[in-house]
A and B are shown apart, each in its own frame.
Chain A
């Protein structure tokens, strides 16, 4: 059974700082990995999708890397802003193994202090 762990559970940084969020998964037979953002009480907003054959994806100030063999992904946020404050969720897609589902971590709650 796939398990996804996100470290740290919470993070507080001053505005302008660069930061890294970590995600690890136990079964490397994944189809892809997706990072989401969730504001309190809201749905999920997709940030980046990395296919299993890719090493990284970039969108604006966000960069996500994937090391499938070691079961790790990182989300790098450059020059953090107060508007980045949210919970960040990592999810792996096991569809390649036939289970057709996303397995999520519990998330990292980020607070960016002005």
Chain B
């Protein structure tokens, strides 16, 4: 069975640009969460989506947005990129909204120059 897949694996963007990151959850999982991990820190929660509805939002600016599609895949969008947005973006898949444990993808490494 395929695990959580994220694309792209790496990308480089210029300040002010927009980026879209994609995630496909494990088959049968209906919840997708997004996390940002900067070097040397633990991952920070950005969003959780369950059954296509936003169920949680972390302390991130409105430049960050996300959505979940009918097939439960998800996109994370970041507008007006800043140098500080450079990080590893992790997607996590879960059976339900909470309490089931999470499976993470390999992440997307975003570098903003």
Contacts and interface: CB of A to CB of B under 8 A. Distances in A.
Nearest to B108: A43
Interface stretch (B40-48, B64-72, B76-84): B40-48
Contact of B99 (A32, A42, A46, A105): A32
Contacts of B28: none
Interface in A44-69: 44-46, 49, 51
Contact of B98 (A96, A103, A104): A96
A106 B40 contact: yes
- Measured as residues with beta carbon below 8 angstroms from the partner, the interface class of chain A is 20 to 34
- Measured as residues with beta carbon below 8 angstroms from the partner, the interface class of chain B is 20 to 34
A99 B56 contact: yes
B41 A102 contact: no
Interface string B41-60: 11111001010000110100
A87 B34 CA distance: 20
Contact of A102 (B102, B107, B109): B102
Interface of B: 6, 33, 35, 40-45, 48, 50, 55-56, 58, 88, 90, 92, 97-99, 101-107, 109
